[in-house]
Amino acid sequence: MNTEPHESWDSVIESKTSLFDINFRALWHYRDLLVLFVRRDFVTVYKQTILGPLWFFIQPLLTTITFTIIFGNVAQLSTDGAPQVVFYMAGITLWNYFSTCLTSVSGVFNANAGIFGKVYFPRLIMPLTIVISNLMKFGVQFLLFVGFVVYFALQNQIQPNTWILFTPVIIVLMALISMGIGLILSSMTTKYKDLNQLIGFGVQLFMYATPVIYPSSSVPSDYLWVVDLNPLVGLFDYMRYAYLGVGDFALVDVVYPSVFALVILMVGVLVFNKTQKTFMDTV
């Protein structure tokens, strides 16, 4: 009779798994590691800088001033009647979060090849770390934007409305879209190194296809259908309608971004899950 005690294991690593075999429970099991990585990113990025966290405020302010001078005064682009400073800051605040998450997630395999090759933990921890740590930076810049909104609202130059309560949903959609696209691109950059250069350039071009520096109302009707294919359009329209009271927005405008976010995230996770098993051979 076999009297040996039954052995139980905290985790089991298998060599063969299916495409849809994604261990989401492991993400919760390694939540302390996620918190540690988020803290590391937030503390170390500006630890050896003179101004430190003040860069969170300086960067969007300088970008807003530049956009106001070039696009507002020189190019004289429409702002739908809103003050130029707060109009451009609304777009910059959202765009900074989206672009930073996308570019950082797209290079997650190359940037973390060393630790991936030495220690086991769920690889999705790293993309989640990027999205969450950048969310903290977004929160700081968002407070700056809210400060400008309050100032111009007291001057009766803008009219915020109750749609501002919908802001968390918009931020979540922005995070899901950037993470989903980034996961797909990260899987491609392990084999095609040139994509690392193209991604940064492509993100810059994509900004001009998104109403960051102009309102959707200024797009010619012949090209409006092309712009509407961009899932970010409704999110930027929301930001200006809710906080500035300019432009048009309805709840139906977030249906397409919501569906797109869920689909692109599911595809991204599946592609990422497949690539993580063999990427060390090509990275």
Of the candidates 217, 214, 210, 246, the residue with the CA atom closest to the CA atom of residue 82: 246
Q: What is the pLDDT of residues 142-151, one digit of tens each?
A: 999 999 999 9
pLDDT per position as a tens digit, 143-173: 999 999 999 999 999 999 999 999 999 999 9
Write the pLDDT tens digit of every residue in 130-144: 999 899 889 888 999
CA 265/CA 175 separation, integer angstroms? 10
At residue 66, the pLDDT reads 92
Token code pair at residue 265: 């995230």
Q: pTM for the whole thing? A: 0.86
In sequence order, what DSSP letters do the residues of 217-261 get, joined into one string? GGS-GGGHHHHHTSTTHHHHHHHHHHHH--S---GGGGHHHHHHH
